[in-house]
Amino acid sequence: MRVIQFREALREAMNEEMRRDKDIFLMGEEVAEYNGAYKVSQGMLEEFGEKRIIDTPIAELGFAGIAVGAAMNGLRPIVEFMTFNFSLVAIDQVINSAAKMYQMSGGQFNMPMVFRGPTASAGQLGAQHSQAFENWYANCPGLKVVVPSNPYDAKGLLKTAIRDNDPVIFMESEQMYGDKGEVPEEEYLIPIGKAVTKREGTDVTIVSFGKIIKLAYVAAEELAKDGISVEIIDLRTVRPIDYEAIVESVKKTNRLIILEEAWPLANISTEITYMVQKRAFDYLDAPIRRINTADAPLGYAPTFVEAFLPSVKQIIDTVKEVLYR
């Protein structure tokens, strides 16, 4: 199977869907003439023209509102935020218009639109450009929230998101755009709300999503050298969450760790902890543990970045703690 980059997988998904449906268009800062801030939309202006690949001013609230109006009138916009940190400027349109329009209109208006772009940390970018917003948007009814971790999932999930009649928050990472992975040339779709077991194991379950899950793979390999078998579940979607996949894994391993790049309070890890204790408490042989970022804004210095983010060592130590203590 061919190997392509994460950014190429996203581009292919948009290209294929735009060729299939003339009502789909892409808008955002630098998506056209500059080929995208991260070159995700490279070549799309040449193929689809300026009416479907639209450069916007630095005005997220404005172009998010335009996209909401377009979706209400039967078009299917893809809105690219250069980073989801900038989506805070547009959050009124996302939360109070896109997410609520179907319900408030009594079902008269579907909202077939995708808001996509990078989330969370990406190195030394400072506190205002290093925040994870997955749990923020997942908290809002009316939105679906997708966070792929590899090129294969990125393409299949984005195609599904574009075809969905509800607004989808599609969250990526600047540090993943160059990641490579196997992606088939033939068309495929991945359902929203379906997790996948990326590694089978018997001793402990690690649940994660997005780029931070890569640390779990490294830790699992190291732990295997000590005879510890780790099962890894990639959520892929954090609204809806595939609770069944998590519960079934816990019934097998009897231990659960959630790895998430987010501040500790009121995050996806907290929600999963509650639901597993509610539905599978009797199967747990140890307290559920979660591994999050430090409860502070992320500083610029590389030492701050290292101290802020979860580490492979932290994962290994936590696994051994739930196994042996």
Residue at 12: amino acid letter = E
Nearest in space to 179 (alpha carbons), one of 10, 7, 38: 7
| 205 in Cβ contact with 257 (< 8 Å) | yes
Beta strands in 81-163 (DSSP E): 114-118, 144-146
H or E, element range at 206? strand 204-208
- Residue 71's Cβ-side half-sphere holds a number of Cα atoms within 13 Å equal to 34
Q: Is 75 helix (H, G, I), strand (E, B) or coil?
A: coil
| 118 in Cβ contact with 172 (< 8 Å) | yes
| 309 in Cβ contact with 121 (< 8 Å) | yes
Angstrom distance (rounded) from CA 215 to CA 117: 22
- Active-site residue, selected from the candidate residues 129, 231, 260, 261: 129
- Active-site residue, selected from the candidate residues 8, 17, 29, 60: 60
> Active site includes 129?
yes
The encoded tokens of residue 188 equal 């495929």
Give the other-Cβ count within 10 Å of 71's Cβ: 24
Angstrom distance (rounded) from CA 64 to CA 87: 9
Return the active site residues: 60, 129
